[in-house]
Structure 1
Amino acid sequence: MINKKNLIGMTLLELESFVLTLNMKKFRAKQITDWIYNKKVTSFDEFTNFSKDDREKLKNSAVINSLKPSKVMVSKDGTKKYLFTIDSWKSIEVAYIPEKRRNTLCISSQVGCRMGCQFCMTDKQSLQRSLTSYEIINQILSLPEGDSITNIVFMGMGEPLDNYEEVTKVLDILTKPWGLNISPHKITLSTVGLIPKLKQFLQERECNLALSVHNPISDERSSFMPIERAYKVKDVIDVIRDFDMPKNRTFSVEYILFKDLNDSLKHVKALVKLLHGLRVKVNLISYHEIPGEDYKGLSYDNMVWFKDELKKRGVITTIRKSRGQDIDAACGLLSTKESLGLKK
C-alpha cells in the first residue's frame, strides 16, 4: 500500500522536491501552495490549472487532509477554545481571542511539555510528542475564523524552541509570499529560554519574541522553573541584549504574578535590573489556578501596584486582560482534563 504524503504542512522547497519525484514540472509546487494555503482547497479535482494526468499523479501519491476540531467551547467574552484529537486519544488546544482591533490565535507546538514549569497544567501531561508542521498549521487552516486572524502567538501547549525544525517550517508557511503571507511582526514566539535554539531563532527569523520569566531571581525561579538550572534567565537576557533587535521586531517579557512568590518590591527591583537597557515591554499575567498545586494568583489591585512600581522605574508594563476563564482558556487546562478524564 502506498504511503501517501499529506501536502498540508509542506514548504515550497519540500513540494518542489516532491513534484520532481512524480516527473512533474518544478513550477507545479508553487501552484500547489497557492491551492492549499491561499485558496484552502482540499481536493485535487479543484486544481483547474493542472492537467488531468498531473491530477491523477497527485491523487495516487498524496492527500490534502484537514483535521477538524473535536470540541469547541465558547466563553461569554467571545474567546473560543478548540480541542484537536491527536493519535486517537491525545489532545492539543487552540485559543481564538477576538478583540476590537485584532483577532489573535494562540497555537500549540507539542502534545504536553517537558520544561517542567510547576504552575503550568500542560506540564502535568509531560511531553507526549512534538507536533508535525501539518498538525501545527492545521490549527490555523481548519478553523472557521481562519480568514479573520490577524495575529498568531506560539503560546499554547509546548515549548516552540524544543520543536524548532517543525515550528520554523510553519513560520515559512505563515510568512512567505507563497504561503499565507502574514507579516512576521504579527507573529510572536514564546519561550522559557533554550539558549542554543534561541540564538538560531533570533538570527534566522523576523518574528517577535516573548520570554517567560516569572521570577527574575535565579534561585527562586529555579524552584518552580527547572529550565533555570540549564539556562539562567540572566544568560538568556544577555543573548537577547547582544542581538541587535530591529525596531519593528518586538521583545516582551511574560510575567505571571503569584501571591507571596514573585510579587514584592524586591522582585520589581530585580526585574528592572535584569532588563536594564533593553527595549522591552513586560506583560503581567493573572494566574489561572490549577488542580493539585498551591500557587495562588494576585488580586487586581496588587497587580496594578506591581505594574506602577515597574513603570516608575521606566519599564513599559501592561496587565494582560484575562480571557476565557469560564472555558479553561489557560494553556493546557482543557486538554489535560480531557486526557485525564477530569470533570470541569
Structure 2
Amino acid sequence: MAISSIFDCGELRRQFHSAGINPNFIPFIWKYVVQNPNCDWDDIPSLPSAAYPLLRSHFKPSTSSLHTVIDSSDNVTTKLLIKLQNGSFVEAVIMRYDTRLGKYGGKPRPGGPRSTLCISSQVGCKMGCKFCATGSMGFKSNLSSGEIVEQLVHASHFSQIRNVVFMGMGEPLNNYSALVEAIHIMQGSPFQLSPKKITVSTVGIIHAINKLQSDLPNLNLAVSLHAPVQDIRCQIMPAARAFPLEKLMDTLRTYQTNSGQKIFIEYIMLDEVNDEEQHAHQLGKLLETFQVVVNLIPFNPIGNLSYFKTSSEQKVARFQKILRGTYNIRTTVRKQMGQDISGACGQLVVNQPDKRSTGSAGLLTDIEDLHL
C-alpha cells in the first residue's frame, strides 16, 4: 500500500474520522511539518495518543523529494526538479519580483520583494499544444493534492512564496478534484494564501470552468487563448477542437458575470502565425466586451520540438498598441525569465541537470499584481 502525503487532506481527514481523532489537529501537524521537514511523527508534541501509530502507518511528512535545484543566470528564477514517490519527476519554478518597481494608477506601487511559485498539476500533459515542451511528453499521471502542495512546501524553504500560479506541467482542470483540494489547503493554515494570490491557467476546459467559480471563489482564472479564431487555435492547440471558441467565450462571459472578476488571457506570440495586425484586431473584437488583462508571452524556443519562431519585439509592441489603443484592453508583455534553465513559459519538460546552487532576489514586476 502506498503511503500518503500528510498534505493529502481528504485521506488524512478520513483516517482521523475513523480513529475518532479531532481534525482540528491537522493544521497544527502541517505547520510542524513545514517548519521541520525531516521530522519523525513522534517529534510532534501534544497529539492524541492514537494519532502517532496512525501517522506512522499511513502517512509521510513528504512523499516527494527535491532532486535538483538550478538557478537561472537572471538571478531571479530557480527551477526545482522534484522526484515523486512513484519515481516520476515534475518541475516547479520560483520567480522573484519587487512589487515596488513601476507605478499603478500613476502612484508608486506598495510592497517589496516577494516570490511567485509556478506549480505543476500533472506529470506531462495530454493537451498536446505544439509550442509547449511539456506537451511533447504526453500524459503520464495526475498528481495527488498532497504532491501539489508539497511543491509549495519545498519552495518555501528557498523563498517566501506570496503568489502561486498553476502554469507548470499539465492542464490543471484535467486534475480537478486534486486541484481544488490542494488550493483549499493552501488557503488555510499554515500557508494562508489569499485566493486573489492564486491563479489557475487552463486551455479552456469548459465543463470545469463552469464549476470553478462556486468551488474556488475569488480565484484568478487565466485562459490560454493563444489565437483569436478557432482554426488557428486548432492548428497550434489540438485540444481546442473539443472546446470551440464561441462556446468557450460564452462560458467565460457567464464566469465573469457570476464572479465579477477580471480574467487573464494568455497569448503566446508566434511569428507569422498569430502575431499580425489582423490578429490583434480579431483578438480585440473578441475581448472588447470583457474585463480582461491580456498577457502577451514571447515564445520560448524548445529545441527541435517546434516549428515556430519568436515574434520580433516590434511586432509584439505593435500588437500591444492595437489592443490598448483601439480596444482599450489592458495588455502586458511577460518578462522572459529562466530561459537558460528551461524554466520559462512552455519550456517545462523533465530533464535532470547536475548543477545545484542557491538563489538570490531580483527586481522585476509581474502580472499577478494586476488584479489590484
Work out whether 1:141 is the aligned partner of 2:153.
yes
Unmatched tracts of structure 1, length 5 or more: 340-344
Q: 1:267 to 1:4 in 2, by over 3 A?
A: closer
Q: 2:68 touches 2:352 (CA, 8 Å); kept in 1?
A: no
TM-score by length of 2: 0.83
For 1:200, the equivalent position in structure 2 comes to: 211
Q: 1:172 touches 1:179 (CA, 8 Å); kept in 2?
A: no
Shift of 1:141: 0.4
Q: Deviations over 1:27-76 (max 9, x none)?
A: 44454344346776743223212245543443344332252321111112
| In structure 1, C-alpha distance between the alignment counterparts of 2:126 and 2:259, rounded to whole Å | 31
- 1:92-241 alignment to 2 at 5 Å? 92-101=90-99, 102-145=114-157, 148-176=160-188, 178-206=189-217, 207-241=219-253
Q: 2:4 touches 2:63 (CA, 8 Å); kept in 1?
A: no
| In structure 1, C-alpha distance between the alignment counterparts of 2:39 and 2:262, rounded to whole Å | 35
1:242 to 239, 254, 267: 254
| In structure 2, C-alpha distance between the alignment counterparts of 1:15 and 1:23, rounded to whole Å | 12
Q: 2:65 touches 2:84 (CA, 8 Å); kept in 1?
A: no
Kindly tell me the number of residue pairs found equivalent between the two proteins.
Answer: 334
Q: Deviations over 1:71-90 (max 9, x none)?
A: 11111222001111235653
Q: Name the Cα RMSD after superposition.
A: 2.4
Identity of aligned residues (%): 31
Q: 1:156 to 1:5 in 2, by over 3 A?
A: closer
Q: Deviations over 1:98-129 (max 9, x none)?
A: 01123110010011101111111111100011
Q: 2:94 touches 2:155 (CA, 8 Å); kept in 1?
A: no
Q: Deviations over 1:125-175 (max 9, x none)?
A: 000111111211111102254661110000001000000011111011011
Q: Secondary structure at the match of 2:223?
A: strand
For 1:8, the equivalent position in structure 2 comes to: 7
Unmatched tracts of structure 2, length 5 or more: 100-113, 354-372
TM-score by length of 1: 0.89
Q: Secondary structure at the match of 1:169?
A: helix
Q: 1:91 touches 1:335 (CA, 8 Å); kept in 2?
A: no
For 1:342, the equivalent position in structure 2 comes to: none
Q: 1:19 to 1:41 in 2, by over 3 A?
A: farther
Shift of 1:250: 3.4
Shift of 1:5: 3.8
2:286 to 251, 262, 274: 274
2:305 to 273, 292, 298: 292
